[in-house]
Amino acid sequence: MPAGNGEGAAQAPFVAATVVRAQSPTSVRAGDSAIVRPDGVIEGFVGGTCAEASVRLYSLRAMESGDPLLLRILPAAAEGEPEAADGAVTVKNPCLSGGALEIFLEPHLPPPTMRVVGAAPIAAALADLAQRLGYAVESGPAELARTSPDDTAVVVASHGHDEERVLTEALLSDVPYVALVASEVRGRAVRESLDLPDEQRARLHTPAGLEIGAETPEEIALAILAEIVSLRPEGEPGPAPTPRNVGMEAPRTEAPQPTSPELAPVAVSTETAIDPICGMEVAVSEASIHLERDGDLYYFCSEGCRDTFSAQGVPDGAAH
């Protein structure tokens, strides 16, 4: 069964930043590239520190949204006001010494994680099919299963082995989709046995999956994944199956159907500060150039602004 065991399944998110246009005079060339990490660290070269400040800020925002972005960086002396366009942002950089840059920011996000608990044939079929649909699958016996708030789905098919503990952990962690593979009678009994508030127990999907008359392990796995897709919020990519357009009956469950959050974007800090010298917006990040003074942290676009600030008193109304 090609399922993960917890080692190497999680992938660290990053943004690939590629210079697609560089107007002279500038030290960067088209084709230069870098990787931007969630902590703001930039590995590679896409321009000097002033350009890096803009690349860092908008890369973190792209990582948060999951959407690619074309970043246009203009010197402050450039004529006209920056124009907004879908999929593109133009900023004026007061520290940029020379020509304009266009940098494509492409977020690479980890796939959503599905935790399949149990060793039954249904668990094996679900792990296999979920991987084919792009999930990072973590699977194993219930005794070893440990859920995470980062899980997109937890499906228990352990035939009674340690299932109450796993389900309780998943529901308390607010995992978007939590399901138990069981008959309607046994599923109701397990739900009622959980030592949780009613609203938490109501989030448990059991029997797991849409009611499509599934009988084989593969068919049941398909019904479970169809239910996960059907619960995507409006606007998520891909059509959401409904009883009308797929010929299925409504899900058979006594619990109300919750709306699961979006799959994809990762939790990164996109807090910003204003450079007290040049007024540029920069990311509040350990990787950004910063300076502590009188217990306050100030952030800068470049060493030049930091050194100027260090040599003088705190400007009135400086943002930090």
pLDDT digits (tens, 9 = 90+) for 79-124: 656 566 778 999 887 776 667 899 999 999 888 889 999 988 999 9
Lowest mean pLDDT across 189-203, 223-237, 281-295: 223-237
Start-end of CATH 3.40.50.720 domains in the chain: 113-246
pTM: 0.64
Mean pLDDT (the chain, rounded)? 81
In this prediction, what percent of the chain has a pLDDT beyond 90?
46
Peptide bond into 25 cis (omega under 30): yes
Q: Which of 263, 267, 268, 269 is nearest to 136 (CA)?
A: 263
- Taking a C-beta distance cutoff of 8 angstroms, is the pair 119, 162 a contact? no
As a whole number of angstroms, the distance between CA 320 and CA 271 comes to: 11
As a whole number of angstroms, the distance between CA 154 and CA 166 comes to: 9
Count of other CB atoms within 10 angstroms of residue 56: 27
Model confidence at 21: pLDDT above 60: yes
Model confidence at 6: pLDDT above 50: no
As a whole number of angstroms, the distance between CA 2 and CA 239 comes to: 27
pLDDT digits (tens, 9 = 90+) for 216-251: 999 999 999 999 989 876 544 432 333 333 333 333
Work out the angle at residue 264's Cα, subtended by the Cα atoms of residues 208 and 252, and round it to the nearest 5 degrees.
15
Alpha helices in 35-152 (DSSP H): 49-65, 121-132
Lowest mean pLDDT across 57-71, 91-105, 234-248, 280-294: 234-248
Mean pLDDT, range 178-195, rounded to an integer: 94
Q: Is 124 helix (H, G, I), strand (E, B) or coil?
A: helix
DSSP 2: -
pLDDT at residue number 84: 63
From the centroid of its chain, how far is CA 240? Answer: 21
In the structure, what pLDDT confidence band is assigned to residue 257 with cuts at 50, 70 and 90? very low
Residue 36 phi, psi (nearest 5):
-110, 125
How many helical (H) and strand (E) elements, i.e. helices and strands, does the chain have?
8, 15
Name the amino acid, one letter, at 194: L
As a whole number of angstroms, the distance between CA 17 and CA 25 comes to: 20
pLDDT at residue number 87: 86
Q: How far apart are the first and last CA of the chain?
A: 53
Residues in the chain: 320
Lowest mean pLDDT across 117-126, 197-206, 254-263: 254-263
Mean pLDDT, range 127-149, rounded to an integer: 87
pLDDT at residue number 58: 94
Count of other CB atoms within 10 angstroms of residue 27: 13
From the centroid of its chain, how far is CA 149? Answer: 12
Q: Which of 315, 10, 283, 44 is nearest to 137 (CA)?
A: 10
As a whole number of angstroms, the distance between CA 178 and CA 168 comes to: 10
Alpha helices in the chain (DSSP H): 49-65, 121-132, 163-172, 184-193, 198-201, 217-230, 243-246, 303-311
Question: Can you say whether residue 139 is alpha, beta or left, with left for phi > 0 and alpha for psi between -120 and 50 degrees?
Answer: beta
313 vs 160, residue with greater confidence: 160
The structure tokens listed for 273 are: 């500060």
Residue 155 phi, psi (nearest 5):
-120, 120
Domain 113-246 is found in CATH 3.65.10.10: no
Distances (CA, A) of 213 to 114, 130, 257: 23, 20, 20
Q: Is 285 helix (H, G, I), strand (E, B) or coil?
A: coil
Lowest mean pLDDT across 43-47, 81-85, 264-268: 264-268
